[in-house]
Amino acid sequence: MTHPAQPTASHFINGTYVEDTEGTPIPVIYAATGEQIATVYAATPSIVEQAIVTAKEAQKEWAKMTGTERGRILRRAADIIRERNHELSVLETYDTGKPLQETLVADATSGADALEYFGGLAASLTGEHIPMGEDWVYTVREALGLCVGIGAWNYPTQIACWKGAPALACGNSMVFKPSETTPLCALKVAEILHEAGLPAGLYNVIQGLGEVGASLVTDPRVDKVSLTGSVPTGKKVYAAAAAGMKHVTMELGGKSPLVIFDDADLENAVSGAINANFYSSGQVCSNGTRVFVQKGIKEKFLARLAERTATAKLGDPMDESVNFGPMVTENQMNIVLGYIEKGKEEGARLVCGGKRADMEGYFVEPTIFADVTDEMTIAREEIFGPVLSVLEFETEEEVVARANDTEFGLSAGVFTQDISRAHRVIGNLEAGSCFINSYNDAPVEAPFGGVKASGVGRENSKEAIKHFSQVKSVYVRMGDCEAAF
Ligand code: NAD
């Protein structure tokens, strides 16, 4: 019998499901059991061509519609997503292995928020009138054209919507390539957008590995590339996009600092560290994996953190009482276990966890290391798993310098009761998405993205509009046009 997660076909192009079994088969594995639940086929050159041609063509009429008309469709899609939240959350759990307790509130719902928010903004995208004496200049905010979205595997529904919603609101079309690890959810987003009235060809999903992504990025008909992925992939995609002078948004990895001062509320700080490291089993780009704790509070903090982490409930992700799921793949589990071994070898003190959980599926125990120093591998490299490192510090100046000593700059957080210090420290930290007395809140109203190697551009909020549109300026002369000869 076909598994309920098996999609109708691998790709969604021009408003309908399309299959081409000539492509390389991509097995979809449920991380909680290791069982194959679906198969999709990588896009062949003919599928890539169909997607590009249809998206390029459909965009012209879409851009001519009013923002109100475009926005209405996006908001309708948001409503459908909310009505089907349970079904979509189950699919997200099959795709990623994340517990249903999380996916019910964080994935389809976050996608719906983006569609609602950008649907609401669509009608307000206007230009400016700039008086020049008798003459004037006016500006027009125009679509970029055909945008390519390429997703990572940790938030397949959310990423498909975070890219699609602003792109469509601004009058662009999109070809979205999900991660080969989690290919299912974006197809549902495409299906729902069309059910909500999106004209055919405007939001297409094609499957494949990096090479399919690369063929999209290098296509001269593509105007913009928005990637969510690792820094090494980001460097390749950015370079390829630059060769074609394309617009880019790069949402990449991080090794973000979370700074906890002696005066912080202990329970809140522990909650912050848990949210910053163990949500989605640690597979979150903005995670605060370097937890700098001031000397005076460190032992108390560690004791309470270990005590609360021991209550994490691992198990069947479909059981809504389970709050900690497996790694997305066996490979990712082995990468994380490799880092844990490195941490032990390099002298970090294991406080809890530290091994594969004794159960079916790719589970790694939530792991805490203390006595971590700045040079250790686990303090320098993005692990993308449930491994929290505690580093001790004494002064504010010292911690800011150490926190900034990294190529990454996605996020940063601070816990303190001293409001001046909170704002001063955040002001001095090199990061794009920051938190005070909290961690990992990512509402659609707030800009999201990194500095340094963690990215270029911003997703969400009004900022995203700037990255999915361009401004045309028009000088209007009322009198005669004079010339030198
Ligand atoms: P990845 O870099 O391996 O792959 C990301 C996507 O890029 C995949 O769809 C992949 O097929 C595609 N790709 C690979 N090579 C390509 C190429 N040469 N040209 C075009 N496309 C190519 O990342 P991943 O392992 O799927 O995801 C984990 C990474 O994503 C982590 O580093 C994480 O921090 C990052 N991430 C960042 C954010 C953010 O918003 N900043 C969010 C989620 C994940």
Q: What is the CATH number of the domain that holds 359?
A: 3.40.309.10
Residue 355 counted as domain residue: yes
Among 102, 180, 191, 251, the one annotated catalytic: 251
Q: Classify residue 356: in a domain, yes or no.
A: yes
Q: Are residues 216 and 297 in the same domain?
A: no
Residues 412 and 462 reside in one and the same domain: no
Q: Residue 141 belongs to a domain with what CATH number?
A: 3.40.605.10
Q: Can you tell me the distance from the alpha carbon of 378 to that of 79, in angstroms, rounded to the nearest whole number?
A: 42
pLDDT at residue 347, as a whole number:
97
In a domain, 442, yes or no: no
- Nearest residue (CA) to ligand 1, atom 15: 210
Side-chain half-sphere exposure of 479, counting CA atoms within 13 A: 6
Residue 233 lies in a domain: yes
Q: Note whether 75 and 222 are same-domain residues.
A: yes
Q: What is the largest CA-CA distance in the chain?
A: 86
pLDDT at 336: 98
Pick out the chain residues at pLDDT < 50.
Answer: none
User: Is residue 295 a part of any domain in this protein?
Assistant: yes
In a domain, 156, yes or no: yes
pTM above 0.85, yes or no: yes
Which residues on neighbouring strands pair with residue 452, listed in sequence order? none
- Say yes or no: 263 and 410 in one domain: yes
Asked if residue 152 and residue 244 are part of one domain, the reply reads yes
232 shares its domain with 143: yes
- Expressed in angstroms and rounded, the spacing between residue 229 Cα and the centre of ligand 1 is 2
Distance 294 CA to ligand 1 centre (A): 34
pLDDT in tens, 393-446: 999 999 999 999 999 999 999 999 999 999 999 999 999 999 999 999 999 999
Q: Which pLDDT score, from 0 to 100, does residue 29 have?
A: 98
CA distances to 15, 98, 108, 270, 387 from 90, rounded to whole Å, are 24, 10, 10, 29, 26
Q: Are residues 136 and 282 in the same domain?
A: no
Does 413 sit in the ligand 1 pocket, CB within 6 Å?
A: no
For residue 42, report the distance from its CA to the centre of ligand 1, in Å. Answer: 17
* 274 and 375 within one domain: yes
Cβ of 432 below 6 Å from ligand 1: no
Q: Tell me the C-alpha distance between 201 and 56, whole Å.
A: 8
Tally of domains in the chain: 2
Q: Is 61 in the same domain as 111?
A: yes
Q: List the domain range (segments joined by +) for residue 124.
A: 11-252+454-472
Torsion of CA 15, 457, 145, 236, to 10 degrees: -80
* The dihedral sign for the CA sequence 316, 318, 324, 325: positive
Identify whether residues 119 and 224 lie together within a single domain.
Answer: yes
Q: Do residues 186 and 157 both lie within one domain? A: yes
Q: Does the residue 347 lie in any domain?
A: yes
Return the ∠ at Cα 401 (arms to 275 and 259), rounded to 5°. Answer: 20
Regarding the beta carbon of 237 and ligand 1, being less than 6 Å apart is answered: yes
Q: Does the beta carbon of 285 lie inside 6 Å of ligand 1?
A: yes
Query: In the structure encoding, which two tokens stand for residue 84, read together?
Result: 């089907």
Q: Closest Cα partner for 50 from 6, 25, 17?
A: 17
Annotation says 482 is catalytic: no
Give me the helix-helix angle, 85-96 and 108-121, nearest 10°.
Answer: 120
**pLDDT for res 224:** 98
At 1 the pLDDT is 79
pLDDT in tens, 360-375: 999 999 999 999 999 9
- Cα–Cα nearest to 369, from 345, 356, 351: 351
Instruction: Name the strands in the sheet holding 146-150, side by side, starting at the edge strand that comes first in the sequence.
Output: 16-18, 11-13, 203-205, 173-177, 146-150, 224-228, 247-251, 455-456
Q: Are residues 63 and 26 in the same domain?
A: yes
